[in-house]
Chains A and B, each alone.
Chain A
């Protein structure tokens, strides 16, 4: 990972000597809770329709008093963080050297909507005093920090569907540069509300048939989903010294902006392509070293076309196997990137790339090696995971094997 981008420097800049390991995974997803259920779920058929974390029971993580001030997005985040911390094992680090970076698109939207309706019906003096802590996007990161008494940097990133990739990338930098020795990082979202659904529907972003089929000829929009994904990142030597299990390394990251349109990607996927190039440069690798792409692949006509163009521009006819787990998971917005990072970590763990569910006929002009129908074996190498958000926000993370 780069420390500086200095063109006058012989190597183009300084590189961090500290490496970032992924040592803990926690998933609260529409296909299951916990990394094992999540992974198994990625290989199951995906029923049509809006995808919720059905029958989510927060009681193992939060008591009734806490629940009154934790919106559903926050409940997901605390649960996922707890699972990730358990998976990581005792970090044995000073609390000020461990931070929390989370991403969310909208935070506690459900609480906001409910309270606005209440206010309209019964007056604004009936609005709960917990409304602000319920709805604020940063309540997610703050709640995790409070739960584990983590006193390092604690921040929330909101870049729509790129939120959690950005949060993970920024967290990795804090470890690489030495400010922190471990980070709890990921994303959380629970925005399947009447108003959000209406907004997405009226902008024709949502699939009318409720089927997520990324890169398919017949794709017609994304399928709303929710959940949280949390990773525990740790400085590599420290992780080794305490005998932690290392799933993968974060080798490079990149963030850039289309500066083009509030929802449509830059034509030709030029912004996404530039972001992927930057991430490879940050990792110090070339395109031929990428052996798998975990795509953003939302199943919207625009995203999938421009992302495929970006991939082709970068890899040409030597396209590594591409998958989009959104065929199975739907689009969990601000938590999507984190759930996909978990899928990447588990691809290293299991040597397997899940197939892109529901996709039958890949669009002719997309020259992708898309993994469909059956999962594909994964040997080793670098994996790039893409997330792109409304607003033109692009984020790419390059993962490497644990070694």
Chain B
């Protein structure tokens, strides 16, 4: 899966789980300010991404993940 296709899937997943507008899901968007989601939302997003991409993301990997881009890189790096 190339990066663009993967990000498209990532974005669909985020929109579905977080109920955010698709145009807001860009790599530089921060979870807290731009998407207004909290740590519980992030956990739920990661669970959905694990299902979508068939990867496993341990909680310890989430430290410092505060933007869409960082979260995407984390998941994409496991493919």
Contact = CB atoms under 8 A, between A and B. Distances in A.
Given A63-B19, A64-B19, A65-B19, A130 B47 contact: no
Interface string B43-66: 110010000000000000000000
A126 B46 CA distance: 11
Q: How many of chain A's residues touch chain B, expressed as a range?
A: 10 to 19
B40 A69 contact: yes
Interface string A129-150: 1100100000000000000000
A129 B18 contact: no
B19 A130 contact: no
Contacts of B18: 65
A129 B44 contact: yes
A174 to B, nearest CB: 31
Contacts, number: 20
Contacts of A65: 18-19, 37, 41
Interface string A107-133: 000000000000000000110111001
Contacts of B47: 125-126, 128-129
B65 to A, nearest CB: 15
A68 B44 CA distance: 10
A123 B11 CA distance: 25
Q: How many of chain B's residues touch chain A, expressed as a range?
A: under 10
Nearest to A127: B47
A129 B45 CA distance: 10
A71 to B, nearest CB: 15
A129 B19 contact: no
Contact of A128 (B19, B37, B44): B44
A294 to B, nearest CB: 41
A65 B43 CA distance: 14
Interface string B1-45: 000000000000000001100000000000000000100110110
A65 B14 CA distance: 12
A132 to B, nearest CB: 9
Interface in A58-96: 63-65, 68-69
Contact of B44 (A63, A64, A125, A130): A130
B22 to A, nearest CB: 14
Contacts of A68: 19, 44
10 contacts: A63-B19, A65-B18, A65-B37, A69-B40, A126-B47, A128-B44, A129-B43, A129-B44, A129-B47, A130-B40
Given A129-B47, A133-B40, 12 more contacts: A63-B19, A65-B19, A65-B37, A65-B41, A68-B19, A68-B44, A69-B40, A125-B47, A126-B47, A128-B44, A128-B47, A130-B40
